[in-house]
Structure 1
């Protein structure tokens, strides 16, 4: 009986953690140095191009890129810093 109760508690805790809010790594611009923007461009070209053609940076405004990258960065297995650098690169070349 104790094992059953313990199993139910652990199962419920695991479900609560997995269904909790996801952190958003990017909320706005952070990196502005040419080195970091160049890194962002390289990460964008190498990571995003593995699964699909590269989107035009003008496809989204700044908030649109936050939403898109929040969805795509985990799929590309980007760290929070890589995610930020890609975002900062995209908004630096975006004319919107």
Structure 2
């Protein structure tokens, strides 16, 4: 049907709204960043509250584009989750 809303009071959709919904559903997802980090690799955090800290990659999440790092803060290993774009490899 071409109606939305509560079951007692349906609201018709315009052709424009229908086409917009179809267009959005057909758009391709943004490309996922390629993982260039390995588990156990040391990286430097480049932005955010932990900028300039170094950490060791413990795992990565391709779906969300995040890395889980162990960062030494006040002498203690602390787990930190951060975006791929916020770290760089230590050469």
**What is the TM-score with the length of structure 1 in the denominator?**
0.34
- Would you tell me which structure has more strand in proportion to its own residues? 2
Greater relative contact order: 1 or 2 (C-alpha under 8 angstroms, separation 6 or more)? 1
- Would you tell me which structure has more helix in proportion to its own residues? 1
**What is the TM-score with the length of structure 2 in the denominator?**
0.35
- Please tell me whether Structure 1 or Structure 2 has the larger radius of gyration of its CA atoms: 2
